[in-house]
Amino acid sequence: MPNDMPQIKGTPVAKYTQILADYLSEMLLITKGKMLVLFTSHEMLRLVYSYLKERQELEEFMILGQGLSSGSVNRLTKQFRQFDRAVLLGTTSFWEGIDIPGEALSCLVIVRLPFAPLDDPYTKAQIDLHKKRGENAFQTFSLPQAVLRFKQGFGRLIRRETDRGIVVIFDNRVDTTTFGQSFFKFYSRCDRSQRG
């Protein structure tokens, strides 16, 4: 987990995504591609995609973005697997249900912890329901849902016991909040000593 990223809250989206794109560019050059970047925001995905496409040093890389490159989720996944030097930027549907086994994927990037947006009607209704029951909606709904989605995202890289790779998390709430450790309880082999 990078320790020199600005706080996502309070940082203008354009500035944050520029810094994120700088990091991703360096990572692509080091890892030689085969990178999946998972977003929770379509706006951030679009901005990062644009920044990466402008980089001359990334001319050899196939840069694919959900909703920006032509094709369905399956088609984008297939294209990603066909190129040695590729990066795939995705949101909602890429957190689950895609299979990129073995060496086809070697680096997974999680931009933000996958909490559901509070303005989503289903999320609002669930939070209201939990509050009416006298429950802490964050603890009983929002956090478990985000942990499940995180686990599904993590599963894009580790599909089989023999799969290996790098996971980079840009959301420092994993380390700076009391709920952060909940995101690693699902995976006992996760080596938290490598963070930071």
List the one residue out of 150, 168, 144, 158 whose CA is nearest residue 189.
158
DSSP 88: E
- In CATH terms, 13-194 corresponds, of 3.40.50.2300, 3.40.50.1970, 3.40.50.300, 3.40.640.10, to 3.40.50.300
Q: Indicate whether 186 pLDDT > 60.
A: no
The model's confidence at residue 109, banded by pLDDT at 50, 70 and 90, is very high
Q: Say what the pTM is.
A: 0.87
pLDDT at position 195: 42
DSSP 5: P
Mean pLDDT over 35-54 rounds to 94
Which CA distances in Å does 64 have to 88, 122, 132?
A: 5, 30, 43
Mean pLDDT over 168-173 rounds to 90
pLDDT at position 7: 83
Query: Could you tell me what percent of the chain has a pLDDT over 90?
Result: 35
Q: Vertex 34, ends 33 and 39: CA angle to 5°?
A: 100
CA 3/CA 187 separation, integer angstroms: 22
pLDDT, tens digit (0-9, with 9 covering 90-100), for 15-33: 999 999 999 999 999 988 8
pLDDT at position 8: 81
If DSSP codes are grouped into helix, strand and coil, which group holds residue 117? coil
